[in-house]
Amino acid sequence: MNHNISTLKVPLLFTFFSMVLSLPLLFPSPALSDHPLLQQIITAYNLEANEKSLIDGTYRGEEGILRIKPEIAKSLGMRVFIDQDYLDSRKLFRKADKFLEKARMAMASQKKEKFPGEHAQKIADNFLISKKALDSAKKKLISYRSRLSSDVDDRLNRAVSAKVMNTLLKKSIKKTENQLRDALGHFYNICQGVSEKNSPLTPENVRFVNGIFRQFIGQAPEKALNMFDLDRDIGYRNKNLPYNWKDALGKEGSQYIPLLEAAFKKSEDKAYAVDPLLFMALMRRESNFDSLAISHVGAAGLTQIRPETARNLGMKNIYMPGYFSEAISFMQQERKTRAQAMDTLSQIDEKNRLHHATKARELMQKCLVLGRKKERLFARYRKKLLQKRNDDRLNPAKAIEYGLKYFAGLMGDQKGDISLALASYNAGPHRVEKFRGIPPYEETVRFRNQVLRYYREYRKKGEGN
């Protein structure tokens, strides 16, 4: 069977998949699946993602409803087809990555040139080697894919893949103690051969997790939803806590209990009732309970509120000199210029090689200058803020009061979804809306993971007393 269907029109292709996935006989029976709806959603998502990867050029040999590479499938006990074209493509992709990185390094290099245009020459040479290797790798993969069939590769055998999916899902759900987002992240990591360090949820898998999680909670009946921890702060909202939250805090956190009680009393019946331990976990992650903590971009205090957010919340005495706005502007220009540099790099070909390479380097050098200007202004801001110490955000009582006010509002907006409220607190509600879930930013994902880790730690301590 020839599975090289990349030439089909996308709308027709997706319609075909929708029709196929609506036929219950093609899906594993409940006897074979502990989570049939979850498997159905993952299957549809992966098949669509596979076809998109063929169209946008990001296909790397992943196949089937598991969207898994042959070497990973083989490690899971599946029969797979691997030929010389596939092996060659892997080497070529590594070569492409290596020379692309060399081109990027030449763009950012501060070394003095041995001759005029040396850096531009290196950029062009390395990028074109990378581009040639990448094109060859893609052709090798398409050739490999044309020989794939369910007769030689279990990834294309729906029944075999469904059993493997069910096994992996059960393993992931058990390992993460029924925490659905983390379980989906762990499942993705297994399928992609990714080793986990601190948490299953990563910037690389969060789009997959967002997509599956969103569809599942939108389609699953209440009984199915109750099988999972959905990161929802329902217990405290219903005032049904099985513990005294004060007993769960360590020495550093306990010093702020009176201020937290006062803040909760002030906001009582006015905002979403946040679990105190969740808010303390957030504060621990933001500042490690250091009331004078200041971030590299000017967020300050126990709850790390940015100046513009503080003013919007109603805080009165906020240090925000003109040069702070200038630093923000430099940061925005830096990001935009870096994107322009990389876009220019991608346009290099044999005809315009030196022209575009020179322009790409100029843009990257401008980006670096903007970055240094930004850092100098932010460093100046941090120094002045600590010298003055009259900013409301450095006042522990006000930092807690307004930080709670902000987070409670986000919890209400996200209907008690802790992960989305934390992502909103870190990256902004507009970005959560844009990505329809947790944004795929390393800082935001790490923030969510660490706060939840602290929160669960506090909960266990509280329930153990």
pLDDT tens-place string over residues 338-355: 999 999 999 999 999 999
Cα separations (Å) of 374 from 94, 238, 335, 361? 35, 46, 11, 20
DSSP state letters, 220-259: S-HHHHTTSB-SB-HHHHTT--SS-GGGG--HHHHTTHHH
Q: Rounded mean pLDDT of 237-253?
A: 73
Does the pLDDT at position 237 exceed 80?
A: no
| Secondary structure of residue 265 in the 3-state scheme | helix
Other beta carbons within 10 Å of 171: 14
**Residue 285 pLDDT class (50, 70, 90 cuts):** very high
For residues 43 and 65, give the distance between their C-alpha atoms in angstroms, rounded to a whole number: 5
Q: What is the DSSP letter of 112?
A: P
* pLDDT digits 0-9 by tens, 130-170: 999 999 999 999 999 999 999 999 999 999 999 999 999 99
Cα angle vertex 442, ends 98, 90, to 5°?
A: 30
If you search the block for the tokens 């329902």, which residue do you land on? Answer: 234
Q: What per-residue string of b and e applies to 203-235 under the rule 16 or more CB within 10 Å gives b?
A: eebbbbbbbbbebbeeebeeeeeeebebbbbee
* pLDDT digits 0-9 by tens, 453-465: 999 999 888 877 5
Does the pLDDT at position 312 exceed 60?
A: yes
> Which tokens is 130 given?
């990378």
The pLDDT, as a whole number, for residue 20 is 39
The pLDDT, as a whole number, for residue 238 is 52
Does the pLDDT at position 396 exceed 70?
A: yes
Give pTM, 2 decimals: 0.89
> Which tokens is 345 given?
């790099």
For residues 153 and 173, give the distance between their C-alpha atoms in angstroms, rounded to a whole number: 27
* pLDDT digits 0-9 by tens, 16-36: 344 334 433 344 443 356 899
- CATH classification code of 235-317+392-464: 1.10.530.10
